[in-house]
Chains A and B, each alone.
Chain A
Amino acid sequence: AQSVAQPEDQVNVAEGNPLTVKCTYSVSGNPYLFWYVQYPNRGLQFLLKYITGDNLVKGSYGFEAEFNKSQTSFHLKKPSALVSDSALYFCAVRDSGSARQLTFGSGTQLTVLP
């Protein structure tokens, strides 16, 4: 079985400060990991993914994420937050050895305060 946990329902950060949105996962095999963002009343947009290779993955809009196998984590980060980054963020995992589908976390609402 595969699962994802996003321990924070809400993250608030001041504009210009660094932001982190946390994600931990559980799989039997090797994980494929994803971050998606959702703006109000819209579908999900892909931000970045980890498949293999470098543990630090860079994605859209200046976001990056670090894969940590020992801690089974894949936290999303950005060095300097923008008000326009305010949105709902979802982490997702796929067990590369056994699953066709992604399993999503419960989501984290990020609010960047001006």
Chain B
Amino acid sequence: DVKVTQSSRYLVKRTGEKVFLECVQDMDHENMFWYRQDPGLGLRLIYFSYDVKMKEKGDIPEGYSVSREKKERFSLILESASTNQTSMYLCASSLGEDLNTGELFFGEGSRLTVL
């Protein structure tokens, strides 16, 4: 089974702090994604990556950056956390383009609260 592991289930940070959310997958997937989930808004794509050191903006990249130095790891960075970034963050991965129907495998989520 594919396993996508997010390092922190719950985080509480202060406004202005730098926040790192880490995600690791163990199935050698090429594609990795960061979504945020908010009530009534569903899942919105922040950033995704289809290869090491590659990244593409999703629908709501403002206030976020990402890093993918190794194939299995995809990090989401909040350079200066703000209260409107309080949310559930979901990491996901999928197969590379040749085999990819788009099916995503999700981690358990990281619930971030910014005070």
Contact = CB atoms under 8 A, between A and B. Distances in A.
A42 B31 contact: no
A31 B33 CA distance: 20
Contacts, number: 63
Interface residues of B, number: 28
A46 B41 CA distance: 19
B61 interface: no
A36 B100 CA distance: 17
Contact of A100 (B41, B48, B103): B48
A44 interface: yes
Contacts of A100: 31, 48, 50, 56, 97, 100, 102
B107 A43 contact: yes
B59 to A, nearest CB: 8
Interface residues of A, number: 25
Interface string B86-114: 00001010000100111111111101000
B95 to A, nearest CB: 11
B101 A44 contact: no
Contact of A43 (B44, B50, B97, B106): B106
A49 interface: yes
A43 B40 CA distance: 17
Nearest to B58: A101
B77 interface: no
Interface in A57-114: 90, 92, 94, 99-107
By Cβ-Cβ distance, the 8 closest A-B pairs, closest first, are A94-B102, A43-B106, A106-B42, A104-B43, A44-B106, A43-B108, A104-B42, A32-B102
